[in-house]
């Protein structure tokens, strides 16, 4: 049975501290996961993906990212991070740059 | 070696690997486009199993690969009947090895055990299929709950797929009873008996291969079959 969160021990010390650490961790792991998904689904090299920054253009600039690959990237992100993306959330903007995609995924993860 | 098998709906081709006696693995590939992306990998896996003394079969299912049945006539019940027939025709202890949506089609087969790689529920596969169609600018218009809908097949990424197949798959799930071992990639948070490192070849935009992963899985399957027999 689920217990009320307040009844759980807090190994990180104060509540405030635990929340801060959780969010910090999420941002780093989202960045890592988005890079890993692009690498795995588009079959890109490690160095190429590691060099992506927020302004790196994706859709329309990466020949590997065609419409079929878009579906694979989004579904793989859903599976790895445990959220669902509605079709009407998918637009050209969220896939325009690496930064846009990373920020979109961060918003989904942090609900 | 190329061979064939008969099922109540006709005759289909299959590939045969390994020794003529002992347990045999019957393998079901992922469905639709995912099958093309993983076929080389799966054949490599069966060769590695043969090297470990385990026989293997890769049956074409009606409406897939080289089958004479048109893709738009493929049905879930037909896939299950054909897979069961291929398994029964061996007359040997059968272990089903299924990948992704392939785990939805071994329900009717008499098997000693089931080994599943990244098994997927039908509704998740359907969602992804529809998303692919949407991304390609050809959204699928179908009510998956309208069982009396007798409309024609829908086209998704160049494949014509019947409405009953989409509805049946949407409601389908993997067998979880009896001896079942589930292996997933480390990146997949879903529950598994074992997690292995590797990339999801079934999502790759170009067909690829991963012989190192195939070796790890061949060891795992051979070990699992030995444990099931003891």
Query: How far apart are the CA of B96 and the nearest CA of chain A, in angstroms?
Result: 25
Q: State the span(s) of chain B assigned CATH 3.40.50.1820.
A: 2-121+173-229
Kindly report, residue by residue over A42-91, the tens digit of the pLDDT: 999 999 999 999 999 999 899 999 888 999 999 999 999 999 998 888 88
Distance of CA B75 to the CA centre of its chain: 14
Asked if residue B100 lies in contact with residue B119, where contact means CB atoms within 8 angstroms, the answer is yes
B186 touches chain A (CB under 8 A): no
Query: In this predicted model, what pLDDT tens digit does every residue of B210-228 receive, in sequence order?
Result: 999 999 999 999 999 999 9
Residue bearing tokens 């003891």: B230
Place of tokens 């302004």: A55
Catalogue all structural domains in chain A, each as residue range(s) with its CATH number: 16-109 (1.10.1200.10)
Distance from C-alpha of B71 to C-alpha of B187, rounded to nearest angstrom: 32
Which tokens hold the place of B12? 């289909």
Residue corresponding to tokens 């600018």? B137
Residues 6+ away with beta carbon under 8 Å from B136 = A67, A68, B157
A76:B131 CB<8 A: no
Say what the ipTM of the complex is. 0.88
Pick the CATH number of B2-121+173-229 from 3.50.50.60, 3.40.50.300, 3.40.50.1820, 3.40.50.620: 3.40.50.1820
Cα–Cα distance measured from residue B140 to residue B148, given in angstroms and rounded to the nearest whole number: 17
**Residue of B123, B198, B200, B210 to mutate for A, most A C-beta atoms under 10 A:** B200
pLDDT, tens digit (0-9, with 9 covering 90-100), for B42-97: 999 999 999 999 999 999 999 998 899 999 999 999 999 999 999 999 999 999 99
Instruction: Check residue B168 and give left, alpha or beta (phi > 0: left; psi -120 to 50: alpha).
Output: alpha
Cβ distance A68 to B134 less than 8 Å, yes or no, reads no
């Amino acid at each position: 049975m689920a217990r009320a969160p307040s009844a759980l021990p807090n190994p990180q010390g104060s509540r405030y501290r635990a929340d801060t650490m959780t969010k910090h961790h999420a941002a780093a792991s989202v960045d890592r996961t988005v890079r890993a998904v692009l690498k795995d689904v588009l079959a890109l090299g490690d160095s190429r993906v590691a060099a992506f920054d927020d302004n790196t253009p994706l859709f329309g600039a990466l020949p590997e990212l065609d419409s079929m690959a878009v579906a694979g990237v989004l579904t793989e992100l859903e599976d790895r991070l445990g959220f669902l993306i509605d079709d009407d959330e998918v637009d050209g903007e969220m896939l325009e740059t690496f930064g846009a995609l990373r920020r979109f995924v961060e918003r989904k993860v942090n609900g | 070696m190329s061979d064939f098998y008969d099922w109540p709906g006709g005759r289909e081709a299959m590939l045969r690997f390994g020794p003529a006696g002992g347990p045999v693995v019957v393998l079901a590939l992922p469905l639709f486009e995912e099958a093309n992306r993983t076929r080389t990998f799966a054949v490599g896996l069966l060769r590695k199993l043969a090297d470990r003394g385990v026989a293997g079969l890769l049956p074409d299912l009606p409406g897939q690969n080289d089958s004479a049945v048109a893709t738009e006539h493929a049905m879930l019940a037909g896939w299950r009947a054909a897979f069961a027939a291929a398994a029964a025709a061996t007359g040997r202890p059968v272990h089903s090895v299924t990948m992704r949506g392939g785990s939805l089609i071994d329900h009717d087969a008499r098997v000693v055990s089931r080994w599943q790689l990244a098994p997927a529920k039908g509704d998740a596969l359907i969602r992804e299929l529809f998303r692919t169609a949407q991304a390609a600018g050809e959204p699928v218009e179908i009510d998956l709950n309208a069982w009396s809908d007798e409309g024609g097949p829908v086209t998704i990424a160049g494949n014509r797929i019947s409405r009953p197949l989409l509805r049946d798959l949407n409601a389908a799930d993997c067998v979880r009873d009896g001896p079942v071992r589930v292996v997933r990639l480390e990146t997949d948070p879903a529950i598994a008996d074992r997690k292995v490192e590797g990339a999801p070849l079934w999502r790759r935009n170009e067909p690829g291969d991963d012989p190192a992963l195939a070796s790890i899985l061949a060891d795992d399957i051979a070990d699992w079959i030995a444990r099931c027999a003891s």
